[in-house]
Amino acid sequence: MDAIRIENLTKKYKDVVAVDTLTLSVHKGELFSLLGVNGAGKTTTIKMLSCLTQPTSGDAFINGKSICKNTAAVKSLIAVSPQETAVAPGLSVWENLELMCGVYGFTKDKQIAKITELTELLGLEAVIRKKAGKLSGGWQRRLSIAMALISEPEILFLDEPTLGLDVLARSDLWDLIRSLKGKVTIILTTHYMEEAESLSDRIAIMKDGKLLICDTAEKIKERAGTDNFEQAFIRIVKGVAK
């Protein structure tokens, strides 16, 4: 079954077409990556799918619920970990998680159970009482993802989750994302080719708001006639391969 079905989704800002008649599907439990250079339309696509911005035309369905007509139902199914780290800096890690539990209306017992579960899942025990603003970039991203998982979303949007992290922090975060595979449908946007290739079940490559290709990393390399995924990406974006 499709977790997300996108039909001719379009977003225009004045004369600029940020996303142009995008049509694709994401399967349930899949880790799906959106790749593209700056301005390709990845973040705008995520913003539309997470009801943060209205499409100019077209529609998308999250577990069958329209993002245009049923935003409340869609919001209850999704969670977003934005591009920049979205944590409350003056609160501790525990308090940040508590904040998210509270805005989703959890009871005190459920709050404690959920925070304990996510703390273990994301390995946050060591920093649980530390202020979020004092954590390193890697820990903040980890917390940011934990905050997104609080609501037990069926679909998780990770917008460039490893941007600006060092190699070790990125590797740790990859392990974390891998551990979430199958538990939740993940839509990942990234600039890093190796990240998309290593983590994704399928990859969509966008350019100027248009979808160029959507397939597994292996098939994309095959179509581009190269063994190197980065080369395949460049060929496809430059229009050398289709």
Partner 1 sequence: MRMLTFANRNTKEILRDPLTLFFGLGFPVVLILLLSAIQANIPVKLFEIQHLTPGITVFGLAFMTLFSATIIAKDRGSSLLQRLYTTPLTPLDFILGYTLPIIPISVVQCVICYIVAIVLGLDITINILYAVFCIIPVSILYIALGLLCGSMLTDKQVGGICGALLTNLSAWLSGVWFDLDLVGGAFKKISYALPFVHAIDMERAVLAGDFSGIFPHLWWVLGYAAVLLVLAVLMFLRQMKKQLG
> Quick one: 102 or 225, whose CB is closer to partner 1?
102
Contact residues: partner 1, CB under 8 A: 13, 44, 47, 50-53, 72, 75-76, 78-91, 95, 98-105, 147-148, 151
> Quick one: 101 or 220, whose CB is closer to partner 1?
101
> Quick one: 1 or 72, whose CB is closer to partner 1?
72
The candidate with the shortest Cα–Cα distance to 49, out of 34, 29, 30, is: 34
> Quick one: 99 or 180, whose CB is closer to partner 1?
99
Cβ at position 133, least distance to partner 1 in Å: 10
> Quick one: 78 or 118, whose CB is closer to partner 1?
78
Decide: residue 232, CB within 10 A, 0-12 exposed, 13-18 middle, 19+ buried: buried
Cβ at position 16, least distance to partner 1 in Å: 12
**Paired sense of beta strands 185-190 and 155-159, if any:** parallel
In the chain, where does DSSP find H-type helix?
A: 42-49, 71-77, 93-103, 108-121, 137-149, 167-180, 193-199, 217-224, 229-238
Cβ at position 128, least distance to partner 1 in Å: 16
> Quick one: 88 or 234, whose CB is closer to partner 1?
88
Alpha carbon distance 128, 119 (integer Å) = 8
Contact indicator for 79, 159 with CB cutoff of 8 Å: no
Alpha carbon distance 162, 84 (integer Å) = 10
Cβ at position 80, least distance to partner 1 in Å: 5
Alpha carbon distance 125, 120 (integer Å) = 7
The candidate with the shortest Cα–Cα distance to 142, out of 170, 115, 117, is: 170
Cβ at position 13, least distance to partner 1 in Å: 8
Q: Which helix (H) or strand (E) holds 6?
A: strand 2-13
Cβ at position 228, least distance to partner 1 in Å: 33
